[in-house]
Structure 1
């Protein structure tokens, strides 16, 4: 697993992995202490195929479990993973 950093900027948050080739990120909008929107996941071409998007999502899911918030999956990647992993259903808002 890659080292994922979390950055908080008021109502915006992002999980980021920094590499010399660029930054992979998963961005969020914070609606309330109990709900966030997963807006966007981006991995530069040079870093694709290394599981970085999965690492970013794992960090988000870990925080959701620990902090008790649910995720609105507007990002296509996050939404597709939520559909594939029914065991995560409690972490996602419908």
Structure 2
């Protein structure tokens, strides 16, 4: 099992986490995200690029706008990986490696 550290790193930023939360509710264009977050258009665009690179967000052109939507499967996979680690920790809570 290998936790996707690239996705965790991307989600660790508060603005990117806010964008992901907003996109969980509906597809939005950059202008909506600027309005909702109060961040500049350039800043939002840069964060969206990183979210796309991590596979968390996909873009869909709609006329002169681009709508972004959350790729829920990436979050579900990450949640399953983290849940798996928690299960292992529960099962092995009393396991201790001896010191030499």
Query: TM-score w.r.t. structure 2 length?
Result: 0.31
Point out the structure with the larger helix share.
Answer: 2
Question: Which of the two has higher C-alpha Rg?
Answer: 2
Point out the structure with the larger strand share.
Answer: 1
Query: TM-score w.r.t. structure 1 length?
Result: 0.33
Higher relative contact order (CA 8 A, sep 6+): 2
